Amino acid sequence: MTQKGKYYVTSGCSFSNETNTWSVHLKKYIIENELGECYNFGSGGGGIDWTRRSIMQGVLDLLNTGVSNNDIKVIVSWPWRNEWEQPVCLSDEETKSFLENKEYQTKFGMANRVYGSNFDKIGFKKRSTFESEYLFKYLVSYDKETWWTRCGEYRYGGLIKGLCESREDKYYLGLQYMEYFESILSLQMFLETNSIDYTFFAVKNIQRVTTYKTWEECFKWDKSSEFVTSLDCSCKDCHSALNDGWKGQYKRLISPNLLNQKMVYEEYPFIKLIYDQIDWNKWWSYKSDVNDFGGTTECVSEQCDIFAYHHDMDGVLISHPNFHAWKDWFDNYLHLHLKNKGMIT
Ligand SMILES: [Zn+2]
């Protein structure tokens, strides 16, 4: 542990992973400028459960080793999906049996993972396809003591089937939003209780009701942007794009117009109780002609070159931003935001 400097604890889904996202660029900046240390829990496939619990664990670990709450800075990228995580209670023997097989384990930043296919003997049903009974594709842990299995996007699968499958008002979406917002509120309260400085943002606009049809399908090419045909770079992302046959594309996208979409609490009034308690002033968001509370996806697609490498110019245009797009976003948006909030120098 360094004697001075700040401790940055970050988390989220694959949009905060340890490979090429903003969290990598943040860490590089912090280390190069000797501002402190970074603990990134960003985990591909992670949802709201992973995000809030990993941050809690990371913060408490630091407090327990004597770090002052004033020196801890939390940055959260709220993820794509809910993804319910269930703790698996393993005996010491079971834990030992899979921890001994080091080749089945991966560690990205602060996130540990063991793949289920190798450890079905733990007793969780293993399925190759996504179903509600599906309990075990892999185990994740932020401390290598408590292991969690990701159980799918939605906690209330059975309830939905029994109660409201026939409803046409997308009621279940409202339940998902409620769960999502309650997670945000729970982490906000944890951070406030411990007097920890923090900022939140999300991968997309989470205040407006969106569906696959009104969001994923609505990103378009910005045909006024330059059409590039070469990548003059040897980084891992560019290298594999060229290997995969990348031929060229427009530099920018236009994100979906969300200004006419209903606010989530208008569509689902039961959310208002939770929504109103969230301190939205602590958030970074993206504003444009078509968006009022955009997330990183909308911002990167419109403001950073080559969001992702496209081999097919049709279909859904968004996926994971590449290394360079994330770098631009960190330099031009997150860095400034953290400065304005006094969280970085
Ligand atoms: Zn590159």
Report CA(325)–ligand 1 centroid distance (Å). Answer: 10
Report CA(323)–ligand 1 centroid distance (Å). Answer: 7
Report CA(234)–ligand 1 centroid distance (Å). Answer: 6
CATH number of the domain residue 203 falls in: 3.40.50
**Domain membership flag for residue 172:** yes
Encode pLDDT of 77-123 as tens digits: 999 889 888 888 777 877 777 777 777 778 889 998 887 555 554 44
Question: How far apart (Å, rounded) are the C-alpha atoms in residues 327 and 321?
Answer: 10
Q: What percent of the chain has pLDDT over 90?
A: 66
**Domain membership flag for residue 147:** no
315-337 average pLDDT score: 95
Q: What is the pLDDT of residue 164?
A: 62
**Domain membership flag for residue 216:** no
Count: domains in the chain:
1
**Domain membership flag for residue 63:** yes
pLDDT class of 282 with cuts at 50, 70, 90? very high
Q: How many CB atoms lie within 10 A of CB 47?
A: 26
pLDDT: which is higher, 327 or 174: 327
**Domain membership flag for residue 271:** yes
**Domain membership flag for residue 205:** yes
User: What angle is formed at CA 150 by the lines to CA 301 and CA 131, rounded to 5 degrees?
Assistant: 90
- Residue 134 in this model has a pLDDT that exceeds 60: no
pLDDT: which is higher, 329 or 169: 329
Question: How far apart (Å, rounded) are the C-alpha atoms in residues 313 and 333?
Answer: 27
The parent domain of residue 53 ranges over 6-84+153-209+262-286+323-340
**Domain membership flag for residue 97:** no
Q: What is the pLDDT of residue 285?
A: 98
Report CA(301)–ligand 1 centroid distance (Å). Answer: 17
Q: Which residues contact 101 (CB under 8 A, 6 or more apart)?
A: 118
**Domain membership flag for residue 146:** no
Residues within 5 A (CB) of ion ligand 1: 233, 235, 238
